[in-house]
Amino acid sequence: MKWLDIHTWIIQLTILLLHEIASPSRFEILQSRHDDDTINITCVANGVFPEPKVSLWKHTGPVNRTKVHAYTETAFRNGAYDITASVSLGDAEFSGPITFSCDLKIAAISKNFTVKTTFRPGSAMLTNYGSLSVRGGTGSQIPCSSMLLLLSITVVLRIVMTNNVCGHS
């Protein structure tokens, strides 16, 4: 006699991944001259977790702003993200001082950071380090590494056990 006994178990494993949330250890807008007619605007954020998104903006008034199509690069190093957005613009595009801002968004924890700087056409030395503001969540400040992010990953494991028993006649 031959029979097949199949047992199926579904085992649900929950893996808790604890990782410190880190606000940027460095967050700034840098301005530099590429040549006499071109400026580089670069937004830099280092040491951020979880993974952020960055946007570079050109302000055309007190309330209006236009997103600048910038080259963005993200790298994961030593348990945190470094992100950079940069653009080169012609001096001729600006008739007077213009403000640029960089928004750093960490969607997983609903936090936004913004840094602003003003470019003055014709200036030989450009300034960096604008004003920094933090928005989102329940508070206005984030300690550099105080909260814990809890990620739950569910794994479904199916185990099929087959038993074959052969009888003798």
Does residue 147 form part of some domain?
no
Domain with 32, as residue range(s), is 21-142
Does residue 133 form part of some domain?
yes
**pLDDT tens profile 75-103:** 998 889 999 999 998 877 777 888 899 99
Taking a C-beta distance cutoff of 8 angstroms, is the pair 50, 108 a contact? yes
> Residue 20: its pLDDT value, please?
66
**Which of the residue ranges 13-27, 37-51, 124-138, 146-160 would you say has the lowest mean pLDDT?**
146-160
**pLDDT tens profile 22-35:** 788 899 998 887 77
Does residue 162 form part of some domain?
no
> For the chain, what is the mean pLDDT?
69
Q: Is residue 43's pLDDT more than 90? A: yes
**pLDDT tens profile 98-144:** 889 999 998 888 888 998 888 876 665 444 444 454 444 333 333 33
Residue 51's CATH number:
2.60.40.10
Regarding pTM above 0.85, the answer is no
Does residue 120 form part of some domain?
yes
Beta-strand runs (E) in the chain = 2-20, 26-35, 38-48, 53-59, 65-68, 71-77, 80-90, 98-106, 111-119, 132-135, 148-166
Chain centroid to Cα 128, Å, comes to 21
Q: Which percentage of the chain shows pLDDT scores above 70?
A: 59
Write out the DSSP string of 132-168: EEEE-SS-S---TT--EEEEEEEEEEEEEEEEEEE--
Does residue 27 form part of some domain?
yes
Domain total for the chain?
1
